[in-house]
A and B are shown apart, each in its own frame.
Chain A
Amino acid sequence: MNEQAPDLPSATVFIVDDESAVADSIALLLRSVGIQTRVFSSAAAFLEGYQPDQPGCLLLDVRMPRMSGLELQKEITSRGWSLPIIFITGHGDVPMAVEAMRAGATDFLQKPFNDNELIRRVQHALEQDAHDRAEQTQRRSMLEQYGTLTAREREVAWMLHEGLANKAIALDLSLSERTVEQHRAQIMRKMQARSLAALVQMLITIRQTLSANQH
């Protein structure tokens, strides 16, 4: 897995709860195990203050006046932000929790919860977020690298992806085998691929991403 760039902000648990004491005490609990937190007292305050590139996860109370947890979840999805959400539900909120999970929530915690449980779930969500973000970063850099390939290099790359040997490619494109070899070396360098297998893997991801973006 890629190391996070040092200038990226570190993971933060964003706590959104209208109950300030509950939010504050959860924050303290998380800080006691070294997790950075930020507390928002309403859904609106969170939407205002959150930057989508900030990694971490969201601890969200389902029941809040004005915009409820579920509504905030919808808003986050529609803005295309990816942030794992852990819902905190109270007595008798099970149906709401189910709905939240259906709408893509990562997890939910039913009150009263114990501290280990909370910490464990939060750490899990943070890992997931880190993983998602790493993958995303990787994908993005792959695309950037792919963008530096010339038209001919791309042609060669996709033929490699199809499993053609240098000789076959040279024949197909009426190039010398040596030229094909030079292209291939260039592709491997630009894409930072250590092996042909790694390159093929990258190309699969790139194709998926490109076709997903076309939708």
Chain B
Amino acid sequence: MVPTPAAHDPRPVAPDRFEALLEAAVDAIVLITREGIITRFSRSAEKLFGYREDEVIGQNVNMLMPPHERAHHDGYLRNYRETGEKKIIGIGREVMARHRDGNTFPIELAVGEFESQDGQGFVGILRDITRRKAQEAQLTQQAEELRLVFSNAPMAFAVTDPEGRVINVNAACCTLFGGVSDDFLQRPISTLMHEEDREDGARALKSLLAVGGSVRRPLRFVDRTGDTIHTQMYAAVGRDNDGTPRMLIVALMDRGPLIRATREAEDLRNRLTHVGRLGTLGEMVSGIAHELGQPLSAIVNYAHASRRMLDNDSISGDELKEVLQKIAAQGERAGQVIRGLRALLRRRDESREALDCSALVREVIQLCEHDIRQAGFELMLDLAPDLPPVHGDAIQIQQVVLNLLRNALDAMREETRDDRIIVTTRAVDRDVLVAVADGGPGIDEQQGDRIGEPFFTTKEEGLGLGLSICHSIVSAHEGSLRFERNSRGGTTFRLRLPRATERSTHE
């Protein structure tokens, strides 16, 4: 093993300045002849390469290079001797060096030419740049990672210069706008904005540059096909170390899906509110009963009055005619109330669509589940998952189901033979069946025929309109509504609606 030079190695003090320099320099210094033979090897060179000076003096300097470089070095020297063409002298470059232990490492090499009484030669000053190289590599890697983050970010990014001209966009941005990055470059970002939002957006970015901070606002853009893109725009300024604005960073979140979802939620809410309105059928019907009660009691009074007057001969033909006319007018008025009621039940935009009865039932349940539980009853659902669609008006069908559920609850409050309400949906033949089975007292044989007649009710607060409304809805849907006694002693109402045909769903 060759001993490595130690710091305490006795060595005569350098006789002149050059020697002192060689000894003190932090960088390694190697002197070679014009032919490349090492003549001096400084102390730090010893440290850097792991050779003692006496081991390298007289050797070709290429021993300090990785094997594949060695061969070239003699050639470089020869070339310089012959042509005088300086490839490295006074310039310096990064090259690889080889340690005594065989490891190679990066160095920065500066080469100078000298002449002394000993003759001509070159001086090489070498600095280990392993660390710097590693840092550089790390920076490069970070930059690469940042680039990847930027280009693969799941949100649209655009970077502009301080004037607002696009200098970079990411893939999500291209996707959002439907283009490639070249379509954007150098375009003022405001030209991508929706006409109506352009002024606003441009102003926001401008004031961002002036004032700093960040911007966050909904803003519309226009994609390549001219369609509006609803976004939430986030923007911030990228600044130098000295605070000079270098770029605007604009991130766009596509609000399209959110808006669509909100719209759907809104729609559902409207429907539910509507169902809710029908849900308070009792109240509504009591209003209607009042409305109907007026003309009906007028009719009754007029009729009785005329009968009495006829009885005692105190009415003339003309007078009677007048009263009959009044009766007719009141009858018509009652008819109008009924028509109004029908219109009320119809949604403004009466829609016929393909409907999943299980889903409809699930929605309706939300409206009365609480009442049922509150009354101490259990609600059991047996809803078929893949029902064929029926064709109709969702709200109306839901209203029928709701009435059946309300009646079931009323019946069970009156008498409970079983505390379960069971709601079933099923495909049966060419129909879809919705069954509501209660554990109430069942329906009296004698009353059976009258059930569903308008104003037939056995309830103190009842109005007897629920089932007649149900029947008119069901018949408008070409379905049927029947009831029967069930095994638990209660009543089962069966609503059957025809499956949607190909033709009807595509109307």
Contacts and interface: CB of A to CB of B under 8 A. Distances in A.
A91 B297 contact: no
B293 interface: yes
Interface string A8-34: 000000000001011011101101110
A98 B300 CA distance: 26
B321 to A, nearest CB: 14
Contacts of A31: 305
A130 B293 CA distance: 33
A91 B304 contact: no
Contacts of A91: 286, 289-290, 293
A92 interface: yes
Given A24-B326, A91-B289, A92-B461, A29 B294 contact: no
B83 interface: no
B314 A32 contact: yes
Contacts of A33: 308
Nearest to B330: A21
Interface in A17-73: 19, 21-22, 24-26, 28-29, 31-33
B309 interface: yes
B301 A28 contact: yes
B287 to A, nearest CB: 10
Contacts of B289: 91
Interface string A81-97: 00000000011100000
B148 interface: no
A21 B295 contact: yes
> Chain B: interface secondary structure?
helix
Contacts of A113: 297
A115 interface: yes
A178 interface: no
Contacts of B301: 22, 25-26, 28-29, 115
B308 A32 contact: yes
Contacts of B286: 91-92
B296 A28 contact: no
A90 B290 contact: yes
A25 B293 contact: no
Nearest to B308: A32
Contact of B298 (A21, A32, A90, A114): A21
Contacts of B290: 90-91
Contact of A32 (B305, B329, B330): B305
A59 to B, nearest CB: 12
B308 A112 contact: no
B323 interface: yes
B300 A21 contact: no
A22 B297 contact: yes
Nearest to A93: B290
A140 interface: no
A111 B326 contact: no
Interface in B231-251: none
A24 B326 CA distance: 10
B302 interface: yes
B329 to A, nearest CB: 8
A91 B329 CA distance: 23
A61 to B, nearest CB: 10
Contacts of A21: 294-295, 298, 326, 329-330, 333
Given A21-B326, A24-B298, A111 B293 contact: yes
Contact of A115 (B299, B304, B329, B461): B304
Contacts of B300: 25, 112, 114-115
Given A22-B297, A92-B286, A111-B293, A32 B326 contact: no
B297 A25 contact: yes
A73 B312 CA distance: 36
A91 B297 CA distance: 13
Given A112-B297, A112-B300, A25 B461 contact: no
**Which 6 pairs, one residue from A and one from B, show the smallest C-beta to C-beta distance?**
A25-B301, A115-B304, A32-B308, A21-B298, A28-B305, A29-B305
Interface of B: 286, 289-290, 293-302, 304-306, 308-309, 312, 314-315, 323, 326, 329-330, 333, 461
Given A22-B294, A25-B305, A91-B286, 17 more contacts: A19-B298, A21-B298, A21-B329, A22-B297, A22-B301, A25-B297, A25-B298, A26-B301, A31-B305, A32-B304, A32-B308, A32-B309, A32-B315, A91-B290, A91-B293, A113-B297, A115-B300
